């Protein structure tokens, strides 16, 4: 009883050919389905990749200012973290936010909320100069700095450009000084039996090489650079604070104080928060945040570059170069 098998009455060769063709047909269909599934998978993967790139490149706060800055308000600009090129608190980001805030016809006052331990003297100096320029350009628009958790070194340098400085009683304020870090490996390479070979063109091209003994002339030159930048810092603070600053040597020694102590030293005008300054000093409780955020993609690339630079810097014994700390 082989009536259900269509090949049962065929000769042996024909039956074999029919079965082979049937298997090939099914195999071809299965292969097409498998190829179609892989095609769909790779298309979805590519689409997800494009979405990820778009998400990283998209501004984090697109349209937030434009949507809310439709009436009189206090402009808030946050300076958070390390002040350096490519960070959230870079001169590029902060200056762009300052210009937008000052140009907005509905801005009645500006609050700089600073939570930073410092960073690059160049970046902080550019922000300081921009604040001074905008204050001259818009003399009727007050700008106040508010110290959050930390307003030290380059963070305080920026704050000194504001009309007034406010802080919480527990804020950390000050650290008006300059530092540069390095290491010395001469003893280590001697113990390991390593021979140092450095080829340079220029008598001082291996300046502060951590693999050679300390050169007093190089240290003296470096100290002169640090002292010069320190004097620039002091001059900026004196210009910004004026007669409010107490004439005490320890103010510029690199020490830090609480916000409450800073009031007595003239580093801070009074205790207060961003909200209290907006409401009680500027007189406008409606606050609009103008802080510029670095796009995710730019931040990723910058952090990668910074990490590579840090590795190279540590290999050379220079930990980030000169900075205000």
Contact between residue 187 and residue 211 where contact means Cβ atoms under 8 Å apart: no
Among the listed residues 90, 116, 148, 153, the single catalytic one is: 153
Report how far apart, in Å, the C-alpha atoms of 310 and of each of 296, 317, 321 are: 20, 10, 10
Element housing 174 (H / E)? strand 172-174
Q: Is 205 a catalytic residue?
A: yes
Contact between residue 126 and residue 91 where contact means Cβ atoms under 8 Å apart: yes
Q: Is 153 a catalytic residue?
A: yes
Alpha carbon distance 298, 304 (integer Å): 10
Element housing 58 (H / E)? none
Among 233, 241, 278, smallest CA distance to 143 is for 278
Among 234, 203, 28, smallest CA distance to 128 is for 234
Question: What's the DSSP call for residue 278?
Answer: I
Among the listed residues 23, 43, 103, 205, the single catalytic one is: 205
Enzyme catalytic residues: 153, 205
């Amino acid at each position: 009883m082989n009536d259900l098998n269509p090949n049962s009455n065929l000769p042996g060769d024909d039956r074999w050919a029919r079965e082979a063709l049937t298997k090939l047909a099914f195999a071809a269909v299965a292969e097409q389905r498998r190829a179609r599934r892989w095609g769909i998978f790779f298309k979805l993967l590519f689409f997800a990749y494009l979405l990820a790139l778009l998400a990283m490149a998209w501004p984090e706060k697109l349209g937030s200012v434009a949507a809310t800055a439709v009436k009189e308000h206090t402009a808030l600009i946050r300076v958070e973290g390390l002040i350096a090129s490519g960070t959230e608190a870079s001169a590029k980001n902060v200056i762009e936010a300052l210009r937008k805030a000052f140009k907005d016809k509905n801005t009645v006052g500006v609050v700089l909320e600073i939570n930073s331990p410092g960073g690059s003297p160049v970046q902080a100096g550019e922000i300081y100069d921009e604040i001074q320029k905008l204050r001259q350009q818009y003399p009727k628009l007050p700008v106040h700095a508010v110290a959050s958790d930390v307003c030290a070194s380059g963070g305080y340098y920026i704050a000194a450009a504001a009309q007034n400085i406010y802080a919480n009683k527990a804020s950390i304020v000050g650290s008006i000084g300059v530092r540069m870090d390095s290491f010395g490996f001469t003893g280590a390479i001697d113990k390991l039996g390593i021979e140092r070979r450095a080829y340079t063109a220029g008598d001082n091209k291996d300046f502060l090489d951590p693999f050679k003994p300390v050169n007093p002339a190089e240290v003296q030159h470096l100290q002169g650079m640090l002292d010069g930048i320190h004097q620039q810092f002091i001059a900026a603070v004196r210009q910004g604070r004026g007669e409010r600053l107490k004439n005490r040597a320890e103010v510029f020694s690199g020490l830090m104080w609480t916000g409450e102590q800073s009031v007595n030293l003239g580093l801070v005008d009074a205790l207060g928060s961003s909200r209290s300054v907006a409401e009680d000093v500027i007189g406008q409780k409606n606050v609009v945040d103008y802080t510029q955020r670095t796009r995710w993609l730019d931040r990723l690339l910058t952090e990668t570059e910074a990490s590579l630079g840090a590795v190279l810097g540590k290999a050379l014994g220079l930990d980030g170069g000169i900075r205000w700390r």
